[in-house]
Amino acid sequence: MRIAGRAWVVGDDINTDLLYPATCFRLPPAERRWQTLSANRPGWAREVRPGDVLVAGSNFGMGSSRPAADNLRDLGIRLVVADSINGLFFRTAINTGLPILEVPGVSRSVREGSRLEADLTEGWVRTDGRELQGRPLPPFLARILEDGGVLARLAKQGYID
C-alpha cells in the first residue's frame, strides 16, 4: 500500500485530549474536526488539505478510546507516521480506515511541507531523498484498511447495515 502527500510535523506526546478535546462530545459530528490540536496548535485544522500526511514524535495518540482518529481522517489526513504510537490509537486508526505507520526517528527526519512517500506493508518512508525503515503493517491489519475499516468489513460480512 503506497501513499504520498505533503507533510505536517508535530512533536512528542500528542495525546487524544489534544486530538479530540472534550468539547467535541458536545458538537455535531461534522464540526468536531475543527477542534483538532486547537489547544497546542490553534488554527492548524483549517490549514490541512485533503491528502496531507501527519508526522509525529513518540507516544502519538496516547490517551483515551475516544474516536480521535476520526478527526484526522475527517480533516483529510491520508496517513499518520510517528516515532512510536499508542496501541489503542493504532487500533482505532486501523479500524477507522486511517493508514498509520510506526517509523522510529521519523519526526526528526522530515521537514514540514516536504513531500513524503510511504509503503505500509513494506514499512518504509521516503522524503527529501532519504529512506527510513519502520515496522511494516502485518497483512492481517492491512486487510482491514483495504476493506475500508472495520465497519465496512462488518457490513460486508453481513453483521451490520
Applying CB under 8 A, the residues found at the interface with other proteins are 13, 15, 17-18, 21-22, 25-26, 29, 38-40, 58-59, 62-65, 67, 84-88, 90-92, 95-96, 102, 135, 138, 140-141, 149-151, 153-155, 157-161
Beta carbon of residue 135, minimum distance to other proteins (angstroms, whole number): 8
Torsion angles phi and psi, residue 74, rounded to 5? -70, -25
For residues 46 and 15, what is the distance between their CA atoms, to the nearest angstrom?
20
Supply the minimum distance, in Å, between the C-beta of residue 49 and other proteins: 25
Write down the least CB distance from residue 123 to other proteins, Å: 12
- Helix (H) or strand (E) segment spanning residue 119: strand 115-119
User: Please, which residue, 5 or 77, has the CB nearer to other proteins?
Assistant: 77
Output 4 or 152, the one with its CB closest to other proteins.
Answer: 152
Distance CA 145, CA 156 (A): 14
Residue 82, classed as helix, strand or coil, is strand
Contact status, residue 59 vs residue 76, Cβ threshold 8 Å: no
Q: What does each C-alpha distance from 18 to 27, 30, 112 come to in angstroms?
A: 16, 18, 20
Shortest Å, Cβ 65 to other proteins: 4
If 0-12 CB within 10 Å is exposed, 13-18 middle and 19+ buried, where does residue 49 land?
exposed
Decide whether 129 or 138 has the Cβ nearer to other proteins: 138
Q: How far is the CB of 109 from other proteins (least distance, A)?
A: 19
